[in-house]
């Protein structure tokens, strides 16, 4: 009887963790260098959303091509799209919007010798046609600037609303809420939590508050219950999880992917190894 009552399956992140944290910083400015060091010191992961080089024309300490290459090459973080020239994608013909993204993607991929498929919308600007165009260009997710103040996983990855911006008043409160939450203690709402923070590193210079992000990093780092991952890593994991194949009664599960996957059923965590089949 017990088994019949608890059919629900809930995704767990690598090693069975119920929480993931990711960060997303825009514009490729020189203050990113300090932020990159902080990320690596505390083991944080995120995406740096870069435009094509503006060669010092931009505001907020835009880096030269050589400086940027030195900062982001081998930085251990995700490099993501932010448009060639940081334009409003919904305010130009679709062909121009497509060039804005494709030129950016080609530039970043050739410069950093990596496949670049994550993105943050410049000015948070998009519409349905832009989203459809991004899907055709192979963009896997695109972050907006609209806060959810929640920890739900994205439903529409091309309209990925973050939890909050680091300057919002609720930032500290949300951090505390995320750290103290325990999905494993819930009954049927055992879904995993994603804390998605975004901003611009120059804001820490402008506001003279690097301590805000340093305090945050110290508080959230080195925890066994959190998966520290980039947006692209989280997307890849969720898509692999969605590809799990179940028997008709839901008791046998096959993982056809190349990624080890974890899930929670009846309060027990199962690991479904890459290519493996497990009886739940």
Residues forming the site for Zn ion (CB under 5 A) = 26-27, 122
Whichever of 28 and 192 has its CB closer to Zn ion, that residue is 28
- Separation of alpha carbons 98 and 117, rounded Å: 14
- Closer to Zn ion at the Cβ: 26 or 233? 26
CB of 200 to Zn ion, least distance (A): 7
Nearest distance, CB of residue 87 and Zn ion, angstroms: 10
Other beta carbons less than 10 A from residue 66's beta carbon: 9
Q: Which is nearer to Zn ion, 26 or 84 (CB)?
A: 26
CB of 261 to Zn ion, least distance (A): 34
Residue with smaller CB distance to Zn ion, 26 or 32: 26
The span from the CA of 8 to the CA of 24, in Å, is 32
Tell me the C-alpha distance between 142 and 70, whole Å: 25
CA distances from 88 to 46, 85, 93, 120 (A): 24, 9, 11, 12
In angstroms, give the least distance from the CB of 203 to Zn ion. Answer: 12
Residue with the shortest CB distance to Zn ion: 26
Q: What is the DSSP string of 11-79?
A: EEBGGGBSEEEEEEEES-BTTHHHHHHHHHHHT--EEEEEPSP-TT-SSS-BPPHHHHHHHHTT-SSEE
| Minimum CB distance to Zn ion smaller for 116 or for 220 | 116
Tokens read off for 81: 């799209």
Minimum CB–partner distance for residue 51 and Zn ion (Å): 7
Q: Which of 143, 170, 173 is nearest to 83 (CA)?
A: 143
């Amino acid at each position: 009887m017990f088994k019949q009552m608890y059919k629900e399956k809930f995704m767990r992140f690598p090693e069975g963790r119920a929480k993931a944290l990711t960060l997303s910083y825009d514009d490729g400015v020189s203050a990113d260098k300090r932020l990159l060091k902080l990320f690596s010191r505390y083991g944080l992961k995120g995406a740096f959303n870069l435009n094509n080089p503006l060669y010092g024309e931009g505001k907020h300490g835009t880096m030269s091509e050589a400086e940027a290459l030195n900062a982001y090459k081998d930085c251990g973080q995700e490099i993501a799209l932010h448009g060639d020239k940081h334009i409003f994608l919904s305010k130009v013909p679709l062909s121009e919007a497509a060039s804005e993204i494709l030129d950016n993607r080609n530039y970043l991929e050739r410069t950093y010798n990596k496949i670049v498929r994550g993105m943050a919308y410049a000015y948070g600007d998009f519409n349905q046609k832009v989203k459809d165009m991004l899907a055709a260009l192979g963009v896997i997710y695109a972050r907006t600037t609209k806060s959810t103040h929640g920890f739900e996983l994205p439903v529409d990855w091309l309209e990925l609303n973050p939890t909050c911006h680091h300057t919002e008043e609720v930032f500290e409160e949300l951090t505390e809420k995320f750290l103290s939450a325990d999905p494993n203690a819930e009954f049927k709402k055992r879904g995993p939590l994603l804390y998605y923070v975004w901003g611009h590193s120059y804001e820490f210079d402008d506001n003279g508050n690097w301590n805000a992000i340093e305090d945050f990093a110290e508080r959230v780092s080195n925890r066994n219950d959190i998966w520290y991952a980039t947006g692209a890593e989280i997307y890849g994991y969720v898509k692999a999880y969605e590809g799990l194949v179940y028997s008709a009664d839901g008791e046998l599960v096959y993982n056809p992917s190349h990624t080890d996957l974890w899930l929670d059923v009846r309060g027990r965590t199962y690991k479904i190894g890459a290519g493996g089949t497990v009886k739940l």
